[in-house]
Amino acid sequence: MLARDDDILKAAEDWRRDGRNVALATVVETWGSAPRPVGSNLVIDDQGNFLGSVSGGCVEGAVVAEAIDVIESGKPKTLEFGVADETAWKVGLSCGGTIRVYVEKID
């Protein structure tokens, strides 16, 4: 789901205030054709609710799943999706580019 950056960060703040565990995913690097620019965000709670976008399609689902792991472990991850990566075809990033997404727990 697309939203303005202010809405995404406000949601993260509100969700934390409500007692939810939250992670923030941020596009930190792109190469070639990429659906969303560097700086795009996706906020995810521990129930899998999310707001924003880092790519679209199945990539978003993969990022949400990884974000839940980050929330549980507290350890940030850098994820990479691209056509050279077999995973990219599985999650639907066949646009010819590569994206790198940093996922961190928000305390």
Q: Is the pLDDT of residue 20 over 70?
A: yes
Distance separating alpha carbons of residues 68 and 72, to the nearest angstrom: 6
Give 88 or 66, the one with higher predicted confidence: 66
Per-position b or e across 34-51, b if 16+ CB within 10 A of its CB: bbbeeebbbbbbeeeebb
| Residue range 3-17, pLDDT digits in tens | 676 789 999 999 999
C-alpha closest to that of 104 among 80, 73, 83, 61: 73
Distance separating alpha carbons of residues 8 and 14, to the nearest angstrom: 10
| Residue range 33-87, pLDDT digits in tens | 788 899 999 999 999 999 999 987 778 899 999 999 999 999 999 999 876 545 5
Give 76's contacts (C-beta < 8 A, 6+ positions apart).
70, 102, 103, 104, 105
18's tokens: 């409500």
